[in-house]
Amino acid sequence: MVQMIISGIALGAIYGLVALGIVLVHKATGILNFAHGEMVMITTFVALSLLGFGLPYWLAVILTLVFAAIFGFSVETVLVRKLIGAPLLSTALVCLGLFLILGDVAVWIWGKDAHMFPSPFSDKPFSFGQVSLSPADLGPIVVCILLSIGLYLFFKLTKVGIAMQATIDNQTAAKLMGIPVKRMFALSWVLATVVAAIAGLLIAPIIFLHFTFMQSILHFAFAAAVLGGINSLSGAMIGGVILGVITNLVGIYLSSELKEAMPFLIMLLILICKPQGLFSREAEKKV
């Protein structure tokens, strides 16, 4: 059980990273990005292509993150900025359209074959008593912890992070204080796409890289976002970890088929019992 819990935490931390990008964009712009998984998939395929050119792993990772930043900025500037404040149905349809387009682009460039993706972590196991672990299990947990600490310090200690947090919390007040809100919107997409790219690099070695490989992961990410609170950045990470542990234990001790249904069951229960999520509070406005 201890081994399955640790494995669930590692997988759940990755779910949390994907959910973090969804929450970040939604909190900043009010848009639910249904194409978030396809953006993860595209950046991961770019990393695979760079590795195929013979580049060292870490150089390929850096260039992939640069591409992710440009990719997120381009999507926000060209497509999303015009949708801010638009009806929910309009934004949902545009994001679904982007989802379909990116999927077709991936098939056109990289084909429908599954690809193996290298991991920076060794899979050589080591034991603690009866528990056998490997750097491949612990590596994603360490990366997610370091990234979470980095994001926390960014939002709390840097001027740009504080301005971005102010924009996320109250766009009108941020405008009155002279904060360039549109620039902060673009930065939220850049940050969300970079975080998503890191999640993709951690997920791809666990499962084969395929043009549909993020579709099932996205179910878990949306469930993690709903569980933690769709407006809570820390809740997304915690919700991902909770979901990862629960689904791992359910898959082992109950049913592997039920494991696949867990994201939908958890979303349903949370929306019925606590719609704002476990770590998000309902907004209160004084009139």
* Tens of pLDDT, residues 53-94: 888 988 999 999 999 999 988 888 888 777 766 667 777 788
CB 204 within 8 A of CB 14: no
CA separation for the pair 246, 238 (Å, rounded): 12
CA separation for the pair 93, 100 (Å, rounded): 11
CA atoms within 13 A on the CB side of 30: 15
CA separation for the pair 30, 33 (Å, rounded): 9
**79: which DSSP letter?**
I
Amino acid 70: pLDDT: 92
Q: For residue 144, what are the contacts with CB-CB under 8 A and spacing of at least 6?
A: 13, 14, 16, 17, 202, 237
Amino acid 86: pLDDT: 67
Number of Cβ within 10 Å of residue 59's Cβ equals 11
CA atoms within 13 A on the CB side of 107: 7
CB 275 within 8 A of CB 58: no
CA separation for the pair 269, 273 (Å, rounded): 6
CB 221 within 8 A of CB 37: yes
Helices (H), the chain: 2-29, 36-52, 57-75, 88-110, 135-157, 159-169, 171-176, 181-203, 213-228, 233-253, 256-273
Amino acid 287: pLDDT: 45
Identify the segments of the chain with pLDDT beneath 70.
84-87, 125-132, 255-257, 279-287
CA separation for the pair 158, 167 (Å, rounded): 14
CB 146 within 8 A of CB 139: no
CB 33 within 8 A of CB 92: no
Alpha carbon 88 to chain centroid, angstroms: 21
Amino acid 80: pLDDT: 77
**1: which DSSP letter?**
-
**205: which DSSP letter?**
T
